[in-house]
Amino acid sequence: MHLVCEYLLQLCSSAAHSFISPLRLLADYIMWHVVDSYTSYLSSHFRDAALILTRALSGVDTLPQRWHTCVLRTENAFGYVTGAMFIEHYFPLEEKQAVSFFFASREILGRSI
């Protein structure tokens, strides 16, 4: 966070010598990051427009498929919850007990070493 603040202060001080006011530059910078962070939620028209900039900056030729973006967003927002639901549904009780025993044993052995 410190580096971001330092960067913004240097950016505003260099803008003071140009025709753009430091407050306008800071507002544009913040607005750009807000818009950029929500691009993946918009329609393909907007995502295609963002791809032009991404291609110029990083050389990426395609965006991830929509389903992949949705899965990643869901994992980021609800990772532990969806993981617990997956384990509850697909792992039998015996396997859960074996894994719990393994971690308990590891914790006990770790203390005695």
What single-letter DSSP state applies at residue 24? Answer: H
pLDDT, the chain, mean? 81
Cβ 24 vs Cβ 18: under 8 Å: no
Whether the pTM exceeds 0.85: the reply is no
Q: Where are the domains of the chain?
A: 1-61, 64-113
pLDDT digit string (tens) for 33-65? Answer: 888 888 888 888 888 888 898 899 899 888 888
pLDDT at 15 over 70: no
- pLDDT confidence tier of residue 68, bands split at 50, 70 and 90: very high
DSSP 46-104: HHHHHHHHHHHHH---SPPPHHHHHHHHHHHHHHHHHHHHHHHHHS-HHHHHHHHHHHH
